[in-house]
Amino acid sequence: MSRAFLIVMDSVGCGGAPDAAAFGDEGANTLAHIAVACAEGRAEEGRSGPLHLPNLDALGLGAAVRLATGLKTPGLGAEPRGRWGAASEVSKGKDTPSGHWELAGVPVPWDWAYFPDRVPAFPEGLVAEVCAHAGTGGILGNCHASGTEIIERLGAEHLRTGWPICYTSADSVFQIAAHEEVFGLDRLIKLCQDLAPTLHSMKIGRVIARPFVGAPGAFARTANRRDFAIAPPAPTLLDWAQGAGRSTHAIGKIGDIFSHRGIGKLHKGKSDAELFDHLMRLADEAEAGSLTFANFVEFDSLYGHRRDVSGYARALEWFDRRTGDFLARLRPGDLALFTADHGNDPTWTGTDHTRERVPVLCAGVGAGSIGLVGFTDVAASVAAHLEIPSEGPGKSFL
């Protein structure tokens, strides 16, 4: 039986979303703007010259960007040898759960709730519940903030008071930062877990534990982040595969995004490099007929939100080099499908995700354009390749 590898390059959008203007993102284009910046010598930190992604471009990356927006893609001009296209999302968010659920066949049927961008950002009842679960006399933060900035700003006060640092963003999230050693990692994770039912009932998509270590002036977040996400409202591709008796593997934060539903084995790591090691191993070891679903988050978390064009370009080029090694390990009949969940244009204003189409690149299933498709068509196509029933609204493009 054939295997499938569904690989999400978190935030690697290609512009052109039909409803981008409704999100304030008309003109955003993560890949095209990085390519232009590289070609113009504006992304020279730790790398140099035009964006160099020969393996992904050979699958159709540059062609997908041009299809999505018509923009030029300097450095990405290969004639595609894979199946390629671009996908649009219908869910009313540009967040991680919305993108992943819809790629797995389930559009979000509700509007997410968001906290207002003011101080205080959180209702008094929620603050009281945080304090009750944490056993503290108050919280710090209570605002919209960057995770690294707020730890730097309030970390010392957190150490002095023992109060958790609570903050949010333009996403539907409630985040709690606390020192792993002083506050305690297990205590932080339990606090988030205890609060999750209340936040989920408010249609806040995720409660995120953000542990850090260090001392004032040298605080650093650790890899022990935990997300507590609302469960998908219907069975996803992972459930379809497991229900058909197939083995399922989740790499990275896929387990958290899908509330660990439909997942047989979870493969975690402290970095995208460690996660790619898992992907390489599964290329050798994953069972016949299995589904491997992977997320590589550092494009988004380390470079998109921080508006670091050079860093984003470096990460793409590193990923492309490893992709070549991964593709060489695939077996005849395997499908490797590379895509993204939203955009995060590092040249854009602010620090938020950007509403964009995403590339869809397929290795192992011939060559040619699939055109403009929907996120749910990705799930239907993977299901068709695995020869399992598709329960979502999408249609296979294979």
Cα–Cα distance between 353 and 344 in angstroms, integer?
Answer: 4
C-alpha separations of 207 from 210, 225, 322 in Å: 10, 11, 32
For residue 392, how many C-alpha atoms fall within 13 Å in the half-sphere facing its CB?
Answer: 34
Q: Is 341 known as a binding-site position?
A: yes
Question: Is 95 annotated among the ligand-binding residues?
Answer: no
Confirm whether residue 158 is marked as ligand binding: no
Q: At what angle do helices 375-386 and 96-103 cross, to 10 degrees?
A: 40
| Gap between the Cα atoms of 38 and 53, Å rounded | 12
CA distance 212 to 183: 10
Q: Which residues pair with 357 in a beta bridge?
A: 15
HSE on the CB side for 141, CA within 13 Å? Answer: 33
Q: Is 353 annotated as a binding residue?
A: yes
C-alpha span between 295 and 299 (Å, rounded): 10
CA-to-CA distance for 256 and 238, rounded, in angstroms?
A: 13
With both helix axes pointing from N to C terminus, report the angle between 61-69 and 30-39 in degrees, rounded to the nearest 10: 110
CA dihedral 229, 233, 235, 238 (to 10 degrees): -20
Helix orientation angle between 309-329 and 272-285, rounded to the nearest 10 degrees: 10
Going through 113-205 in order, the beta strands assigned E by DSSP cover: 140-144, 165-168, 173-179
274 vs 298: CA distance, rounded Å: 12
The DSSP bridge partners found for residue 179 are 212
Using an 8 Å Cβ cutoff, are 291 and 258 in contact? no
Running DSSP on this structure, what letter comes out for residue 301?
A: I
10 annotated to a ligand binding site: yes
- Choose among 149, 142, 202, 201: nearest CA to 175: 142
Look-up: residue for tokens 């399922």?
248
**Residues 133/195, Cβ–Cβ less than 8 Å:** yes
Q: Are 239 and 263 in contact (CB under 8 A)?
A: no
Longest dimension (CA), the chain: 62
> Would the annotation count 352 as a binding residue?
no
Specify binding-site residues for Mn(2+).
Answer: 10, 300, 305, 341-342, 353
Specify binding-site residues.
Answer: 10, 300, 305, 341-342, 353
